[in-house]
Amino acid sequence: MKIAIVGLGVIGGSFAKAIRHHDNKHYIMAIDTNVETLKLAENQGFIDYGETVNKTVLQQADLVIFALYPEVMKEYVRTHKNEFKDGAIITDTTGVKRTVIASMRDVIPSQVDFIFGHPMAGREKRGFEYADASVFEGANYVITPTDANNPRNIEWFKGFLANLGFKRVTITDPDTHDEMIAHTSQLTHAIAVALINSDDRSHETIRFIGDSYRDLTRIANMNEKLWPELFMNNKDHLVTYMERFEEAFHELKIAIQEDDVEKMEAIFKESTARRIKLQESDLRIR
């Protein structure tokens, strides 16, 4: 199979490395504006061929994986809609689905099957050099089908993902995806940003941090161009979950202010029980 990856950053690069690692029979092509990235990927054996602008890649590819920002992807598909191979499967990696799917309905070429997807894995750093084949091992993947999809292609794609190491492939609708992602991904990034930005810079923070601070702020290393687009495209769900978080945080704050140890104990017992249940569910589903 000939596979094209459009956008060879940390996610696109991780796909290239994972595909090469798990199934060396595929012919892997890439399109990226950075010629040095293409040279590096080719020299390291992760792609077989690369172009900075499409000349022959899309015309050959049986599977096209877009690893671009939502608006960039939409414009790219619109511009190149007549260059895709007939019968090709196309997929994306964007972190929001409602607005992306709605805005792309009129630009998706009729000769392809566009399966919208979201790998629930990544790295806080950017660039092909930080791409890692192992990032998808044991990870979740979410597919949000449309009426235009061929069910057989979705089943094939699920098998393809499993071969790359994804352990759970969830099929859901775009709104459910965006609501859940607002809580499990976007809110957590917002909290990490607020935590690290609330630091009193007069203190030598580095001398006093432990694993908890490192864990909570790891994802505060944000792509400042990508994340505002993701937040704005899902702001209704995100703001709702931010308000829920504020309520829970305020409840704990009041308990501390009022020396309400019993209330604090109840809050901590609930969080512990929820975390254990989450972990048990994770192990059971795996």
pLDDT digits 0-9 by tens, 84-107: 999 999 999 999 999 999 999 999
**Segment holding 276, helix H or strand E:** helix 261-285
CATH number at residue 152: 3.40.50.720
The pLDDT of residue 286: 56
Burial of 237 (0-12, 13-18, 19+ CB in 10 A): buried
Residue 84 sits in the same domain as residue 159: yes
Whole-angstrom Cα distance, residue 21 to residue 137?
A: 12
Residue 40 sits in the same domain as residue 119: yes
Mean pLDDT across the chain, nearest whole number? 94
The residue out of 172, 193, 216 marking a domain boundary is 172
The pLDDT-based confidence of 264 (bands split at 50, 70, 90) is: very high
For 165-192, the pLDDT digits (tens) are 999 999 999 999 999 999 999 999 999 9
Task: Tell whether the model's pLDDT for residue 47 goes beyond 70.
Answer: yes
Whole-angstrom Cα distance, residue 181 to residue 188?
A: 10
Task: Tell whether the model's pLDDT for residue 124 goes beyond 80.
Answer: no
Whole-angstrom Cα distance, residue 78 to residue 82?
A: 9
Residue 32 sits in the same domain as residue 140: yes
Residue 51 sits in the same domain as residue 116: yes
Residue 135 sits in the same domain as residue 251: no
The answer to whether the beta carbons of residues 3 and 27 sit under 8 Å apart is yes
Q: Residues with Cβ < 8 Å from 227, sequence gap 6 or more?
A: 189
The residue out of 128, 151, 172 marking a domain boundary is 172
| Percentage of residues in the chain having pLDDT higher than 90 | 88
Q: What is the mean pLDDT of residues 59-69?
A: 97
The number of folded domains in the chain is: 2
Whole-angstrom Cα distance, residue 77 to residue 90?
A: 10
**Which of 231, 25, 33 lies closest to 128 in space, CA to CA?**
33
The pLDDT of residue 284: 64
Would residue 125 be called left, alpha or beta, if left means φ above 0 and alpha means ψ between -120 and 50 degrees?
beta
The pLDDT of residue 202: 67
Residue 187 sits in the same domain as residue 101: no
From residue 149, how far is each of 76, 85, 114, 143, 174 by CA, in Å? 20, 16, 7, 11, 14
CATH number at residue 261: 1.10.3660.10
The pLDDT of residue 158: 97
Angle between helices 235-257 and 187-197 (to 10 degrees): 50
**Which of 20, 13, 6 lies closest to 126 in space, CA to CA?**
13
Residue 165 sits in the same domain as residue 42: yes
Residue 220 sits in the same domain as residue 270: yes
| Percentage of residues in the chain having pLDDT higher than 70 | 98
Q: What is the mean pLDDT of residues 49-63?
A: 96
Tokens of 182: 């607002």
Task: Tell whether the model's pLDDT for residue 126 goes beyond 90.
Answer: no
The pLDDT of residue 281: 78
Count CB neighbours of 23 within 10 A: 14
For 201-236, the pLDDT digits (tens) are 767 888 889 999 999 999 999 999 999 999 999 999
Domain that holds residue 161: 2-172
Residue 106 sits in the same domain as residue 134: yes
Whole-angstrom Cα distance, residue 93 to residue 249?
A: 32
Whole-angstrom Cα distance, residue 88 to residue 134?
A: 27
Residue 152 sits in the same domain as residue 190: no
Residue 67 sits in the same domain as residue 199: no
The residue out of 172, 191, 213 marking a domain boundary is 172
Residue 155 sits in the same domain as residue 28: yes
The answer to whether the beta carbons of residues 76 and 99 sit under 8 Å apart is no
Burial of 86 (0-12, 13-18, 19+ CB in 10 A): exposed
